[in-house]
Amino acid sequence: MGGAPTRVGSQYSISVGVRASGNLTTIGREIQRRITMADPAGVQGEVAVLPERLTGMTAYARFRTQFFMIFGAGSLLLVAVGLYGVVAQIVTQRIPELALRHAIGASGARLAWLVVRQGGTSVLLGVALGVAASAMGTRMIATFLYDTKPTDPKTLGLAVVALIVSAGLAILIPTARAVRVDPMAALRQE
């Protein structure tokens, strides 16, 4: 039990904390009744259960956190879709080159490795630069985070994995299509 008097206008106010178990609403009403019995004219106010009070006090922070989570997830989805589109377009543009290489004797596995190596290098470099930029920008968002570090390894790791997976699919799907293309048909289109 504890309390600290504070001055409110020309009167004093006191908050009392009670640790109890059981039905907290019933206990709160009993505490209110006993205080009123002790000083009927002096008690004005309410009895609040701490979990309910904390829920009200942290509602805005929870809303803000959920908003940023939704905004961040949407941003990550947009980045992944955009990354997929750009990388897939680059690989698709290379189909005539890959067909020519295939026509002069390069194996499908060799062609796939060529595209994956070149595309993967760009993607990994981009992810590394993005992680570095993210680490530098954490000071700006640190005040908005609750119970999470700005450089939370789980969150950062999830974002990196999502980007690498989307880039990997963007490289592999068109590459698999390009390797299966008949070299002569692809060269005739050019």
pTM of the complete model: 0.58
Buried b (16+ CB within 10 A) or exposed e, 134-160: beeeeeeeeeeeeeeebeeeebbeebb
What the block records as the tokens of 114 is: 């060529």
What CA–CA distance (Å, rounded) separates 17 from 15? 7
70 pLDDT more than 90: yes
User: Which amino acid, residue 9?
Assistant: G
Of 12, 169, 189, nearest to 80 by C-alpha is 169
What is the model's pLDDT at position 44?
66
Element (H, E) at 15: strand 11-17
As a whole number of angstroms, the distance between CA 172 and CA 96 comes to 17
Report helix, strand or coil for 74.
helix
Res 101 pLDDT > 80: yes
Q: Which residues of 99-127 are buried (b: 16+ CB within 10 A; e: fewer)?
A: bebbeeebeeeebbebbbeebbeebeeeb
Using 50, 70 and 90 to split pLDDT, how confident is the model at 75?
confident
More confident residue, 15 or 102: 102
